[in-house]
Amino acid sequence: MAAPTLADVAESAGVSRQTVSNAVNNPDLLRPDTLVRVQEAIAELGYVPNRAARNLRTRASHLVGLRLSPVLEGNATAVGDRFVHSLVWTSREAGYHVLLFSGEGPAAIDGYEDLLRSTAVDAFVVTDTYLGNPQATWLRERRAPFVAFGRPWDDPDARHPWVDVDGAAGTEMATRHLLDKGHTRVAWIGWRKDSFIGEDRRSGWSRALRERGLSTTGMASRVEDTVSSGREASAVLLDEARPSAFVCASDTLAMGVLHTLAERGLQPGRDIAVAGFDDSQVAQVVHPGLTSVRQPLEEVAVAVVRSLEDLLATPSYVGEGLLLTPSLTVRPSTG
């Protein structure tokens, strides 16, 4: 059978073709009883609007661009996968689809430029807002609509919409969990000092220790976000600072700590406590189970899509940045 057409729906509902078009594209223009009659006909016939034709009329693609960054070698955390899945699902519910594109280094802007020039997408979701990545600034200068997953760390006066997770609150939560278990020497393994996200997470650890009157001197290490870096840093801290617990800026670094403990015959949770950040799949399956800060990525995706809808509405609306609170998933690595 041929697919039902707009004319078929119009005939079935006893209305004009323009009325069916309004029911699909501008339902607010119709009386409630007329709208219901047309919607019932659409459902009964199984009519699907021609998206391509609709895009030509509205000049909207209903696509949202998202750049995929390459996974670093030696990194055990694939937290981005969970966010992308949530974003794709939530966008679909709102009538949008996510268009993934690649690009890194000096060529990172090229993908944005190509899509912007060809009007292939209605807006972008930017996830790499940390120091040194120019995408957000480049899009702002061209008045391209976008929502960022991440604060505008290098530009506090930026007025674009963003959603982020309070990393400091998460590490403070993890550190207090260890302090409440009686640990007084809690070490930190984080990222390089030029990482805004890393320093934000470090601040939660230091705040929790200082609230209890405990010193942070000699108890911290800043390294690259790889398993081998976490392994080396934890070995040095165990020898020089003798901590009874570690809080790490990522599950990747925490995995390095677990490697060091295994090499020394130490049991996570019994001899040395370890907490990570991101609650990745690795944290859930590694023995004996890694305590980790869990980012509410599903909530982030919902908030990002809501901001996109506001941004693309007529008139456009840009709300305040939204900071969401993570939770702590406790497993045997902290006893």
User: How do residues 44-53 score in pLDDT, each as one tens digit?
Assistant: 988 876 544 4
The predicted model scores a pTM of 0.78
Q: Which residues contact 105 (CB under 8 A, 6 or more apart)?
A: none
d(CA 248, CA 187): 8
pLDDT at 132: 55
pLDDT at 2: 62
- In percent, the amount of the chain with pLDDT more than 90 equals 59
pLDDT at 73: 54
Helix %, strand %, coil % for the chain, to 5?
45, 15, 35
Beta pairing class for 327-329 and 291-294: antiparallel
- Region class of 125: left (phi > 0), else alpha (psi between -120 and 50), else beta: beta
pLDDT at 56: 39
Q: Do the Cβ atoms of 90 and 163 come closer than 8 Å? A: no
d(CA 80, CA 84): 6
d(CA 279, CA 228): 19
Mean pLDDT of all residues belonging to the chain? 88
**Residue closest to 107 by CA, chosen among 138, 145, 140, 150:** 138
d(CA 79, CA 159): 27
Q: Tell me: the pLDDT tens digits for 215-267? A: 999 999 999 999 999 999 999 999 999 999 999 999 999 999 999 999 999 99
pLDDT at 289: 96
Q: How far is CA 70 from CA 121, 231, 252, 256, in A?
A: 22, 23, 16, 21
- In percent, the amount of the chain with pLDDT more than 70 equals 90
pLDDT at 197: 92
Q: State the burial class of residue 268 (Cβ atoms within 10 Å of its Cβ: 0-12, 13-18, 19+).
A: buried
Q: Which parts of the chain sit beneath pLDDT 70?
A: 1-2, 49-60, 70-79, 103-108, 130-133
Which amino acid belongs to residue 58?
A: T
pLDDT at 152: 87
pLDDT at 173: 98
